[in-house]
A and B are shown apart, each in its own frame.
Chain A
Amino acid sequence: MKVLVTVKEVAEVEEDFELDGLHVAEQFLEYDLNEWDEYAVEEAVQLAEEDDDVEVVSVTIGPERSEETIRMALAKGVDRAIRVWDDALEDVDLLDVGAKTRLLSAVVEAEEPDFVLTGVQANDDSFGATGVSLASAIDFEWAAVVNDLELEGDVANVRRELEGGVEELTEVDLPAVLSIQTGINEPRYASLRGIRQAQSKEIKPMSLSDLGLDASAVESDLELTDMYEPETESDAVYFEGDAGEQAAELATVLREKGVGAQ
């Protein structure tokens, strides 16, 4: 069985930052593997550990810089990686779900996985949509926001985490795409041995033409037109001073509310 796991390098914005047009200025960004994808990678690697016949391939759409992040997934047990990038992607402000779906569909066509795992959402632009959109495009079944997974023959028994502490139990016919929720497992730390081995694992670059696509695949009907820091809606009373003074003022307010007084 071949498991394809989609992984994204996401940017986190530092506390103090500046915007540069339609982007956060580069020096205020820190890159890391998307939190949800860490859990998807772990789930895939656990499947491979249970069954010798499972190959785990990761795919990312991202610039060369993202290889550092991808390497971490390889160190945790992913067998090999694909990185899709192209000059045509350099100038895209917002890679929308449709474009990502077209690129990832082409990868699925080339790799023919039995099973695809994605994260629920990417923590930077948070579309929360790529997995289900991909499933629809490649005619796989799917389930979103999965926090438990058991494979049983041609069926995946999953739990979908709904709102308010309710879980939905669902049988999903394979082949399928599952979007993985945090907490489904305990992502491992990469071992030193894993990190060493990852150095010799393949990260295969693929361009649009390698995928049989042209620049129209990343054209989008969505245009990012503005980006700004939202004005604070805060009307909180702030306690100033050093930590001791802040704590003393807060303690007064808490006591007024009857906290800790008995």
Chain B
Amino acid sequence: MSDVLAITEHRRGELRDVSFELVTAGSDLASQSGGDLHLAVIGGDVDAFAEELALDGVDTIHTVAEGDEFNHDVYVQAVTALYEELDPTYVLMGNTVNGLDYAPAVAEQLDLPLVTDAVGLENEGALTVTREMYASKVESTVEVDAGTAAVTIRPGEWDVTEAAGEPAVEAFDVEIDDSRVRSRVTGFEEVGSGDVDIADADVLVSVGRGIEEEENIELVQELADALDATLSSSRPIVDNGWLPKDRQVGQSGKVVTPKVYLAIGISGAVQHVAGMKGAENIIAINTDPDAPIFDIADYGIVGDLFDVVPELIEQFE
């Protein structure tokens, strides 16, 4: 029997999607061995969150009323205290930006082997985790030989359930050691947007690292003009300063849902896809037939953008 402790996430008063995905991943994992799923809700309006999380498959929700927002020092102390109290087999967390900020410290302090960014979990005697490597070109499985493990799951990989359940809700008191809270969140800021809002566009021509040089941006701008579309990009283009930050599509940029999304020289990394998978029609132009972008594309051209884009511009002139 393997009990699972899953740590939920919230930000600015709302539970994040990954919290519900953790319920699914956690209850699948717990039920494979007849164990219980414990959820932890740390900080914020814990009672309201617990109500929302009263879902099928959850056995107990532990509320830790400490602070309003995420603070990794508090999370690490709360999770390690819960672990010691509940003695679960597995600790599940989200592979989110906040997950990156506390999950490794939880694993280190509890001396648990850590497997991050899981896309699949199987518990047949030993825990087997499926994860991607080499920019999603390869998948691998990792077996955990210890009895226990800390695992983070990739957001967006597990379905969510809406079926209600009747978990017990228990307040958990942790004595937070303030001398070990050595970081303070002082605020949040939205990254400013310029005069173009790519989230409003019906048609996006989006460019990635396949464009190679700054001066080639002109080529895709020309295409965007010919199609009466807006130009957006993947992250490296913005990191390089070739387009402003407000043009970035993805996890840390904008989430867009245009009618047409034309991905040119973009590989389709998970953090990029997080921002555009909701587009109605996804079209990819890429030299690599195995680029992950094709997995979610509706139309594909395997080809060199420097050949295809000029031809496409010509079609619309």
A107 CA to B297 CA, complexed, in Å: 46
Contacts of A239 in B (CB 8 A): 299-301
Q: CB within 8 Å of B: which of A125-145?
A: 125-133, 135-137, 141-145
A171 CA to B251 CA, complexed, in Å: 24
Contacts of A130 in B (CB 8 A): 104
B107 lies within 8 A of chain A by Cβ = yes
Given that A141-B183, A165-B253, A169-B187 are known contacts, is A221 also in contact with B104, CB under 8 Å in the complex? Answer: no
Q: CB within 8 Å of B: which of A61-105?
A: 94, 96-98, 101
Given that A160-B97, A247-B308 are known contacts, is A225 also in contact with B143, CB under 8 Å in the complex? Answer: yes
B283 touches A250 (CB 8 A): yes
Closest residue of chain A to B191 (Cβ to Cβ) is A165
Contacts of B100 in A (CB 8 A): 120, 128-129, 132, 144-145, 179
Count of chain A residues with a beta carbon within 8 Å of a chain B beta carbon? 84
A136 touches B97 (CB 8 A): no
A227 touches B188 (CB 8 A): no
Q: CB within 8 Å of A: which of B78-125?
A: 95-98, 100-105, 107-109, 113-117
B142 touches A223 (CB 8 A): yes
A227 CA to B130 CA, complexed, in Å: 10
B128 touches A225 (CB 8 A): yes
Closest residue of chain B to A227 (Cβ to Cβ) is B140
Q: CB within 8 Å of B: which of A225-239?
A: 225-230, 232-234, 236-239
Cβ of B296 to closest chain A Cβ, rounded Å = 8
Q: CB within 8 Å of B: which of A16-39?
A: 17, 19, 22, 24
Cβ of B102 to closest chain A Cβ, rounded Å = 7
The SS class assigned to the A binding surface is: mixed
A168 touches B188 (CB 8 A): yes
A192 lies within 8 A of chain B by Cβ = no
Tally inter-chain residue pairs, CB-CB below 8 A.
Answer: 262
**B-facing mask of A169-208, CB < 8 A → 1, else 0?**
1111100000100110010000000000000000000000
Closest residue of chain A to B129 (Cβ to Cβ) is A222
A167 touches B117 (CB 8 A): no
A222 touches B186 (CB 8 A): no
**B-facing mask of A238-259, CB < 8 A → 1, else 0?**
1100011011101101100111
Contacts of B116 in A (CB 8 A): 97, 126-129
B72 touches A169 (CB 8 A): no
Contacts of A259 in B (CB 8 A): 203, 227-229, 260
B235 lies within 8 A of chain A by Cβ = yes
Contacts of B314 in A (CB 8 A): 247
**A-facing mask of B139-164, CB < 8 A → 1, else 0?**
11111111001000000000000000
Segment with Cβ contacts to B, from A7-15, A51-59, A109-117 = A7-15
Cβ of A100 to closest chain B Cβ, rounded Å = 11
A170 touches B186 (CB 8 A): yes
Cβ of B181 to closest chain A Cβ, rounded Å = 9
Cβ of B45 to closest chain A Cβ, rounded Å = 19
A132 CA to B294 CA, complexed, in Å: 34
Contacts of A145 in B (CB 8 A): 97, 100-101
A243 CA to B76 CA, complexed, in Å: 54
Partner of A236, one of B109, B141, B297: B297
A96 CA to B304 CA, complexed, in Å: 38
Residues of B within 8 A of A (CB): 11, 72-73, 76, 95-98, 100-105, 107-109, 113-117, 128, 131-146, 149, 182-191, 203, 226-229, 235-236, 238-239, 241, 245, 251-255, 259-260, 274, 281, 283-284, 287-288, 290, 294-304, 307-308, 311-312, 314-316
Q: List 20 A-B pairs, Cβ < 8 Å.
A: A11-B134, A98-B107, A127-B114, A128-B100, A129-B114, A132-B72, A133-B114, A141-B73, A143-B183, A162-B188, A163-B97, A169-B186, A169-B187, A183-B235, A183-B239, A222-B142, A224-B142, A225-B128, A226-B140, A244-B311
Q: Other CB < 8 Å A-B pairs besides A166-B191, A234-B297, 7 of them?
A: A15-B288, A98-B113, A101-B108, A129-B100, A247-B311, A253-B283, A254-B260
